[in-house]
């Protein structure tokens, strides 16, 4: 099943038992935005499963673009992450496990820039951030930029009570850029 854009959210993790990004991804599954088909999938919030599950979703839907959503409870605004860092902290995941020793990419550069047109996405509801953290959000963001040859790849953090309409507008704006996107 080929779609234009894959949007992912995460399941629960310590401190966030009801992850709003899972609801956002599910709500976008099957949507048509800017004439582009969207698939939504939920990634498990575990070090061992998040990346393989993302790879399986990409193989299943063969998207031209990928937007990953993560919750950042301390943020008040939706924020597009401009860079991913080749790092992760030894924090426990939803199952109480820490990251594998190969969670970072040994041969990878320290940072990679987003492949979203972030400057065009900024508005009253959407800002930018240069710190995707050191948890699973950053790990899948970095690995997707490093390992996937998609013209549009990015990560967006949302607050604990995100504005679903603003997220939908952001996804629609990215979908509209897929024709002009090059790897």
Decide if 81 is catalytic: yes
Decide if 157 is catalytic: yes
Decide if 146 is catalytic: no
Active-site option among 49, 88, 94, 137? 137
User: DSSP 3-state assignment of 164?
Assistant: helix
Active-site option among 49, 81, 88, 94? 81
Instruction: Please report which helix (H) or strand (E) contains residue 114, including its range.
Output: none
- Residue 81 CA to residue 83 CA, distance in Å, equals 6
- Residue 42 CA to residue 20 CA, distance in Å, equals 11
Active-site option among 49, 88, 94, 157? 157
- Residue 173 CA to residue 73 CA, distance in Å, equals 24
Catalytic sites, residue numbers: 81, 137, 157
């Amino acid at each position: 099943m080929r779609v234009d854009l894959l949007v992912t959210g995460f399941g629960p993790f310590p401190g966030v038992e009801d992850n709003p990004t899972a609801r956002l991804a599910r709500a976008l599954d099957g949507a048509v935005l800017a004439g582009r088909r969207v698939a939504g999938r939920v990634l498990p919030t575990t070090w061992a499963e998040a990346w393989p599950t993302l790879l399986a979703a990409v193989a299943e839907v063969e998207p031209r673009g990928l937007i990953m959503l993560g919750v950042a409870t301390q943020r008040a605004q939706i924020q597009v992450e401009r860079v991913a860092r080749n790092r992760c902290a030894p924090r426990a995941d939803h199952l109480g496990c820490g990251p594998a020793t190969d969670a970072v990419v040994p041969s990878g550069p320290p940072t990679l820039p987003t492949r979203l047109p972030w400057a065009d996405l900024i508005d009253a509801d959407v800002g930018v951030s240069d710190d995707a953290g050191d948890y699973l959000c950053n790990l899948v963001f970095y690995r997707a930029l490093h390992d996937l040859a998609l013209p549009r790849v990015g990560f967006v953090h949302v607050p604990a009570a995100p504005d679903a309409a603003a997220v939908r507008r952001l996804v629609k704006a990215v979908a509209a850029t897929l024709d002009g996107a090059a790897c």
